[in-house]
Amino acid sequence: MAKALPRSPLAQPLPRLLPVAGVRLGAVAAQIRYKDRTDLMMMEFVPGTTAAGVFTRSKCPGAPIDWSRAALAQGKARALVVNSGNANVFTGRAGVIATQISAAAAARVVHCPATEVFLASTGVIGEPLDAERISDAMPQLYEALSPEGWEDAARAIMTTDTFPKAATRQVEIGGKTVTLQGIAKGSGMIAPDMATMLGFVVTDAAISHDVLQSLLREGTERSFNAITVDSDTSTSDMVLVFATAQAGHDEITSLTDPALAAFREALDSLLLELALMVVRDGEGATKMFTVRVSGAVSDESAKKIALAVGNSPLVKTAIAGEDANWGRVVMAVGKSGEPANRDTLSVAIGNVWIARQGTVVEGYDETPVVAHMKGQDIDIQIDLGLANGHAQIWSCDLTHGYIDINGSYRS
Amino acid sequence: MAKALPRSPLAQPLPRLLPVAGVRLGAVAAQIRYKDRTDLMMMEFVPGTTAAGVFTRSKCPGAPIDWSRAALAQGKARALVVNSGNANVFTGRAGVIATQISAAAAARVVHCPATEVFLASTGVIGEPLDAERISDAMPQLYEALSPEGWEDAARAIMTTDTFPKAATRQVEIGGKTVTLQGIAKGSGMIAPDMATMLGFVVTDAAISHDVLQSLLREGTERSFNAITVDSDTSTSDMVLVFATAQAGHDEITSLTDPALAAFREALDSLLLELALMVVRDGEGATKMFTVRVSGAVSDESAKKIALAVGNSPLVKTAIAGEDANWGRVVMAVGKSGEPANRDTLSVAIGNVWIARQGTVVEGYDETPVVAHMKGQDIDIQIDLGLANGHAQIWSCDLTHGYIDINGSYRS
């Protein structure tokens, strides 16, 4: 985390970020783990802000996950505090107290109940988090908050990330312009078991907690829950959405409200853009690949098969080696445990069908596939030929860089 | 496969191998994929030999898996033919015909029904297997069979293996000395979803097909089904046991026969020894590790948790890096999806309890753990503190060597 890793070859530049009415944000160096590294980020929301969240499914989550899950129950938010030095995981009773101290410190400066403060942490596991550093830094951090603080915030939540991640959208609701803007971090332990990284989205739309929660849950399924780097799932991670209701339109309180259509689409594409940035920053990644599965017995089955392929070390190393090794794709389909029939299975790479109905396509010419494998974005298609279930996931290759990053002493 | 890989630092020498009454074996170069590489192995068994087998659970198995599964139905064996150049997987109707041609060629020289010939293949996927090469080589191969052919056989089935694998045992049944001897191959795609490599064991004991099948199934659960290299499962692999009934004792036809006790123990330990050799030859492996889980809600749950830890890329890279990163162990327990409670969880490395009941042990001294991590055999213990379920699995570290082997063009 302290090491300066080379920037991912798949990195993307930050887009131009806009203020979002109703939120002020910023970051400071609170010396949580490393000296003089910006490691504490805060957002303050206007009263009336609604919240939605999805959390890691880990059975051993960190104390901040428990805290934010509880905060979400009442659906309102006044502040978010994120530290990127210590995950506050497996820290027992001391970890619970650390969350209380952190939330209380934010509540004091914002003048709100501590239960309206959301917390997130990422970093080392099993070491006590000294929450006094968060309390001590809080007044200075609060002074630093500004509607323009987005880039600082995006940088402050990075750990092994090699580039800051943010995305932005504007749509209309009831004749009013609404902004959605989000930041994310993550580069390893990115596995689809929600939520395996940190993502924070703020919008000035007015949307009730229930509706926002449904939108986030659906959008996550096809974005943050459809990416994988190494199949490992973090104990700490979450995606939160806050709606400040400052855009001036009538509050949306029903999922079937037609005024919601454009917003839903914008949120979905924003979540996907952020999620794909996480894959682009996959530890050691030099190529991205997508796996599209069709013809499965159900969408759920298709997703499991797609993830079996996306997580297979043999597929991931083949992609790193620019090897159109479709045999490994067949192997991964077979090991998924999902219904598949070798004699109806078809595989394409770069839109060239290599195998159809369980056997190599006659006269298959590898030339265009070899060319496709040399690119940065690899496309694998699998048709199971059984029914209509389909899914798409994104992953990255497995390279020496991954070993370098994770095989050295205590990251 | 053709590349000469450096011998695994965890390799073990071949033990002294004995003839086993009732089997003759040998190998030749049949030019199946590589020129002048010994790639075709055969065993001939005396009439009356019983067989048992476990097979890959892949949904896309190769044609030889289908063939041998069918052969097993009648429980008798006269021959085994194994090629190590072409897996004959995803080869459609041509693949089925190739198995028929191969079995018929062996049946011809042995003078037995083709249904008593077992087949196994390992190698490239999706390329047609030219079975004529197997037929053509058969007479010469049959001439080469001998009771002394064990080492040749062990070498002929190797693919990316860096050392030949064999193990041997002797026990008494009814006052007669009985020999059990086996060979194995495997170094990648070794995941516990049975059977993810090739293992062939021959004994001169007299044991009925049903009893042999039960013994193999049980023994596999704690050996070949308790190892993992990269979580990938092959389309081709199997473990077969043949009993030639030449030792001279009365045939054992009941699992509860007391005369079976020593044999069962010997078979279990033989299977485990072979399975651990496969882990020792894990692609790129420099260290082995075992994960022992106790206190789980069931043995099955314990095994799933142990495998989640054993398969985690972050745990595997930490072991490669000699990093006693128990936080990654906690992460992997959490992601397994099995019942776990962070506040009753304990973790030990090298028999030193680092964390107990959800928090770091007070005064934890890393020194002996750091020393343990520098060794070649790493021991991880996890106590869930919930109930009495327990399990043990074996895995190896994830290193640059794995990437080198699998990330280069078409292995």
Q: List chain B residues with CB under 8 Å of A312.
A: 231-232
Q: How far is B285 from chain A (nearest CA, A)?
A: 13
* Under 8 Å between Cβ of A67 and A139: no
Is there a binding annotation on residue A287? no
Residue A297's pLDDT is 97
Residues of A in contact with B322 (CB under 8 A): 409
Interface test with A, best of B125, B229, B335 (most A CBs within 10 A): B335
| Contact status, residue B28 vs residue B141, Cβ threshold 8 Å | yes
CB pair distance less than 8 Å for B341 and A59: yes
Query: Do A359 and B92 count as a contact with CB atoms less than 8 A apart?
Result: yes
- Per the structure block, which two tokens stand in for A322? 């620019």
- For residue B409, list chain A residues with Cβ-Cβ distance below 8 A: 321-323
Please indicate whether residue B196 is annotated as part of the active site.
yes
Q: How confident is the model at residue A1 (pLDDT cuts 50, 70, 90)?
A: very low
Q: What is the pLDDT of residues B356-365, one digit of tens each?
A: 988 889 899 9
Contacting residues for A245 by C-beta, under 8 A, at least 6 apart: A22, A46, A48, A49, A50, A204, A205, A206, A207, A251
Q: Which residue in A60, A373, A397 has the most chain B C-beta atoms within 10 A of its own C-beta, making it the best mutation to test that interface?
A: A60
Please give the residue that has the higher pLDDT: either B327 or B137: B137
Whether residue A191 is predicted with pLDDT greater than 60 in this model: the reply is no
Contacts of B317 in chain A (CB under 8 A): 402-403, 406-407
Out of B93, B320, B408, name the one closest to residue A407 (CB): B320
Q: Which residue has the higher pLDDT, A94 or B80?
A: B80
Confirm or reject contact between A375 and chain B (CB < 8 A): no
Please state the rounded mean pLDDT for residues A285-310: 95
Q: What is the mean pLDDT of residues A275-281?
A: 90
Helix (H) or strand (E) holding A372: helix A367-373
DSSP label at residue A41: E
Helix (H, G, I), strand (E, B) or coil at A360: strand
Nearest chain B Cα to A314, which residue? B406
Q: Average per-residue pLDDT in chain A? A: 90
From first CA to last CA, the distance across chain B in angstroms is 6
Query: What is the percent of chain A where pLDDT is above 70?
Result: 94
Ramachandran quadrant class, A2 (left: phi over 0; alpha: psi -120 to 50; beta: rest)? alpha
**Count of C-beta atoms within a 10 Å radius of residue A104:** 15
AA identity, residue A167: A
Q: Which pTM value belongs to this model?
A: 0.82
Q: Is the pLDDT at A226 greater than 90, yes or no? A: no
Instruction: At A379, list the tokens.
Output: 């496309």
Vertex A35 angle, CA A32 and A36, to 5°? 100
Q: Kindly tell me the burial class for residue B388, based on how many C-beta atoms sit within 10 Å of its own C-beta (0-12, 13-18, 19 or more).
A: exposed
pLDDT of residue A125: 78
In this prediction, what percent of chain B has a pLDDT beyond 70? 94
CB contact under 8 A, B407 and A355: no
Triad B269, B273, B277: Cα angle to 5°: 170
Calculate how close chain B gets to A342, using CA atoms only, in Å: 5
B127, B193, B273 from B183: Cα distances, Å: 26, 20, 10
Chain A partners within 8 Å of B314 (Cβ): 188-189, 230, 232, 406
Interchain CB contact of A370 with B (< 8 Å): no
Say if the Cβ atoms of B335 and A124 lie within 8 Å: no
**Is the pLDDT confidence value at B112 over 60?**
yes
Residue B366 touches chain A, beta carbons under 8 Å: no
Is B323 at the interface with chain A, CB within 8 A? yes
Nearest Cα to A141, choosing from A38, A35, A46, A42?
A42
pLDDT in the model for residue A81: 98
Q: What is the pLDDT of residues A123-163, one digit of tens each?
A: 877 888 999 999 999 999 999 999 999 999 999 998 878 89
* Better-predicted residue by pLDDT, B49 or B224: B49
Is A196 labelled a binding residue?
A: yes
State percent of chain B over pLDDT 90.
70
Average confidence (pLDDT) over B85-89 = 84
Residue in A277, A202, A216 with CA at minimum distance from that of residue A17:
A202
How far is residue A85's CA from residue A100's CA, in Å, rounded to a whole number?
Answer: 18
User: What average pLDDT does range B156-171 have in this prediction?
Assistant: 92
pLDDT at A3: 52
Tell me: pLDDT of B122 over 70: yes
The amino acid sitting at A313 is P
pLDDT of B63 strictly over 60:
yes
Sheet order of strands, A352-356 included: A359-360, A352-356, A346-349, A377-383, A288-296, A389-396
Q: Is B335 annotated as a binding residue?
A: no
Closest chain B C-alpha to A380 CA, distance in angstroms: 17
Check CB contact under 8 Å for B406 and A317. yes
Residue the block writes with tokens 């011998």: B7
Tokens of A279: 């894959």
Does pLDDT of A25 surpass 50? yes
User: What pLDDT does B409 receive?
Assistant: 47
What is the structure's pLDDT at A2? 42
Residue A99 has pLDDT above 80, yes or no: yes
**Whole-number pLDDT of residue A409:** 47
pLDDT band at A4 (very low <50, low <70, confident <90, very high): low
Distance CA B168, CA B181 (A): 4
**With an 8 Å Cβ cutoff, is A194 touching chain B?**
no
Contact criterion met (CB < 8 Å) for A314 and B92: no
Mean pLDDT over the full length of chain B: 90
Average pLDDT over residues B153-160: 91
- For the record, the structure tokens of B241 come out as 């046991």
Residue B185, marked binder: yes
Q: Which residues of B275-313 are buried (b: 16+ CB within 10 A; e: fewer)?
A: bbbbbbbbbbbbbbbbbbbbbbbbeebbbbbbbbbbbbb
- Residue of chain B whose alpha carbon sits nearest to that of A312: B232
Indicate the range of A28-32, A121-125, B249-253 predicted with least confidence. A121-125
Using the Cβ of B186 and the Cβ atoms of chain A, whether some distance falls under 8 Å is answered with no
What mean pLDDT do residues A300-320 have?
93
Contacts of A331 in chain B (CB under 8 A): 58, 60, 125, 189, 232-235
Residue A407 confidence (pLDDT): 80
Cα dist. B34→B83, B101, B106, B126, B281 in Å? 12, 21, 22, 16, 22
Q: Which residues of A are catalytic?
A: 196
Question: With an 8 Å Cβ cutoff, is A163 touching chain B?
Answer: no
Q: Of A189, A314, A344, A369, which to mutate for an interface test with B (greatest number of B Cβ within 10 Å)?
A: A314
Which pair of structure tokens corresponds to residue A343?
């004699």
Task: Determine the residue among A297, A330, A356, A378 to mutate to test chain B binding: the one whose Cβ has the most chain B Cβ atoms within 10 Å.
Answer: A330
Catalytic residue selected from B196, B228, B235, B286: B196
Query: Is A232–B332 a contact, with Cβ atoms under 8 angstroms apart?
Result: yes
- Residue B288 pairs in a beta bridge with B377, B396
Comparing A67-81, A224-238, A354-368, which segment has the lowest mean pLDDT?
A: A224-238
* For range A8-27, the mean pLDDT: 95
CA–CA dist A99, A129 (Å, integer): 9
Minimal Cα–Cα distance from B66 to chain A, Å? 12
Using an 8 Å CB-CB cutoff, list chain A residues near B327: 87, 89-90, 124-126
Q: pLDDT value at position A231?
A: 61
- The B residues from 66 to 95 touching A (CB cutoff 8 Å) are 87, 89-94
pLDDT bracket for residue B189 (50, 70, 90): low
For residue B83, how many C-alpha atoms fall within 13 Å in the half-sphere facing its CB? 31
pLDDT at res. A189: 54
Burial degree of A342 (CB within 10 A; 0-12, 13-18, 19+): buried
Confidence (pLDDT) at A192 = 37
Task: Give the model's pLDDT for residue A123.
Answer: 81
Rounded alpha-carbon distances, angstroms, from residue A71 to A96, A120, A305, A374, B310: 14, 12, 35, 47, 35
Res. B195: pLDDT tops 70: no
Residue B398 sits at the chain A interface (C-beta within 8 Å): yes
Grade residue A195 by pLDDT with cuts at 50, 70 and 90. Answer: very low
3-state secondary structure chain B: CCCCCCCCCCCCCCCCCCCCCCEEEEEECCCCCCCCCCCEEEEEECCCCEEEEEECCCCCCCHHHHHHHHHHCCCECCEEEEECCECCCCCHHHHHHHHHHHHHHHHHHHCCCHHHEEEEECCECCCCCCHHHHHHHHHHHHHHCECCCHHHHHHHCCCCCCCCEEEEEEEEECCEEEEEEEEEECCCCCCCCCCCCEEEEEECCCECHHHHHHHHHHHHHCCHHHECCCCCCCCCCEEEEEECCCCCCCCECCCCCHHHHHHHHHHHHHHHHHHHHHHHCCCCCCCEEEEEEEEECCHHHHHHHHHHHHHCHHHHHHHHCCCCCHHHHHHHHHHCCCCCCHHHCEEEECCEEEEECCEECCCCCCHHHHHHHCCCEEEEEEECCCCCEEEEEEEECCCHHHHHHHCCCCC
Mean pLDDT of all residues in A219-224: 90
Q: What's the average model confidence in pLDDT over B310-319? A: 92
Helices A92-110, A131-144: axis angle to 10 degrees equals: 20
Q: Is the per-residue pLDDT at A80 higher than 80?
A: yes
Q: What is the pLDDT of residue A230?
A: 64
Q: What is the 3-state secondary structure (H, E, C) of A325-345?
A: CHHHHHHHHHHCCCCCCHHHC
